[in-house]
Amino acid sequence: MTRLTRYATRELLPPLLAGTLLFTAILSFGYFFVSSQWLSGVPVALIARWIGYQLPDTLVKVLPMAVVLMTVVAFGRMNTERELVAVQAGGIGLGQVTRPAAVIGLLVTLLSVWLSLWVAPRANVETRGLYWDALTGAGLSQLVGKTVDLGQGLTLSMQGYDTKTRQMQGVRVEQWQKDNFRQGMIVLADAGKFENNQLSLTGYQVYRVDYAAAAALAQVPDNDPAAFREAVQSVFPLVQMAPDAASPLNLDTGLSRKQTLAQYADAIGADAEGWPELVTKLTAPDVPAAERQAARVNLGRKLALPFANLVLVLAALPFALRFGRTLGVSLGVALVIAVAYYLLFSVGLTLAGMLPGLPEVGVWLANVVFALGGLWLLRRT
C-alpha cells in the first residue's frame, strides 16, 4: 500500500502544480492587463510586488480549479491505461487508491483556509495601498468629494488633494455621539495629511455642536443680548482655533490610510476582513444587525470556498473515470466542473442574502450539491 500511495501521489502532484501555475498566471495577467494603462513607466520590481500581494487571494480562487484538474487528469490517465482495473483485480478497492487525492485535497483546504482568513485580507489591503500610492500616484484623490467612515466614529471629506505633497485640502472631519445624533464635533481645516492611523490637520477650527440647543434660539427675546449670547454658547459649547497656521491637530483613526484606500478608492472595496475582524463583528454586542449578517455571509464564504478543494475531489472523480481519456478532454472536463461549481457558488451567495435567518444554507449550497452529486455518480460508476 505504501508503494501504491507513493505512485498515486506522484500522479496527482504534477497536474495540481501545473494547474495552479496556469490558472494563477491567467488571473495575474488579467489584473495586469486591466490596469496596464496606469502602469506606464512603473518599475518592473514594483509591478511584481503588486502582483505578488495579489497571490494569496488568487490562490484561494484558483486552487479548487487546480484540484479538479489534478483529479481528472491523474485518475483519467490511470483508468484509460487500465491501471485502476489492475489494482482492483489485486483486491485493492477504489477508495484506497483515491485516498492520496483526499489527503491532498484536505491539505489544500487547510492551506486555503489559512490564506483566506489570515493572509489574503492583509495582502489585499497592501495591494490597494501600493496601487494607489505607488503605482498610479493618485493617492487619496479618489476620495475627493466622498464622505468616508474612518472608524471610531470619525468621517472624513475633502475638497481637493495634492498628489505631489500628499496633502488634503479643504478638510472636514465629523464625529457624532452614538447616544445623541444631535450632538457632535466638527473639525474644519485648510489642509491635512493622512498617514498610517493619524490625521494631521493644520489651519483648523474645532466646533462642538448641540443642535438640540439650536432650537431654543428662536425663543430668546430680541431685546436680551445676554440671553442670546448664553443660548449661542449652548449651541457651541466648545470652539477651538489653531494658534497658528503651522500648529497641527492630530486625530487617531480606526482605519489606516491603506485600509481607507482599500475600502473606498475603488467602486468595489477590497476584501480586507479576516478572522479577527469577522469574529469581532459576530460577537461584539453593539454591532448593527446588517453588519452582523454580512459578517456571517463573509465568514461562511471564506470557509466554504476552501472546503471546495475537498468536495471537488469527490465530485470530479466519477468524471475522471468516465471522460478523462486524453489531456485535452481532461482539461475541458475540469473547466466545465469548475465553472459549474463557481456558478452555483455565486447563486448560493445570492440566496444567502435572501435568507437573513440562516445565510449559511446559501453559502454552503454548492459544496452540499457537489458532494451529494459526486457520491451519487460514484455509485453509478
pLDDT tens, position by position, 276-329: 999 999 999 888 889 999 999 999 999 999 999 999 999 999 999 888 777 788
pTM of the model: 0.89
- Determine how β-strand 238-241 pairs with β-strand 248-252: unpaired
C-alpha torsion sign, points 314, 318, 324, 329: negative
Query: How does pLDDT run across 314-364, given as a tens digit for each residue?
Result: 999 999 988 877 778 888 899 999 999 999 999 999 999 888 889 999 999
d(CA 68, CA 45): 33
Q: Is the pLDDT of residue 62 over 80?
A: yes
Q: Is the pLDDT of residue 40 over 70?
A: yes
| CA R_g for the chain | 29
148 and 264 in contact (C-beta within 8 Å)? Answer: yes
- Split at pLDDT 50, 70, 90, the class of 374 is very high
Q: Where are the alpha helices (DSSP H) in 42-93?
A: 44-80, 83-89
**Which of 87-107 are b and which e, b meaning 16 or more Cβ less than 10 Å from the residue's Cβ?**
beeeeeebeebbbbbebbbee
d(CA 75, CA 16): 12
250 and 194 in contact (C-beta within 8 Å)? Answer: no
Q: Is 286 helix (H, G, I), strand (E, B) or coil?
A: coil
- Split at pLDDT 50, 70, 90, the class of 1 is low
Extract the C-alpha cell encoding 315. 465530485
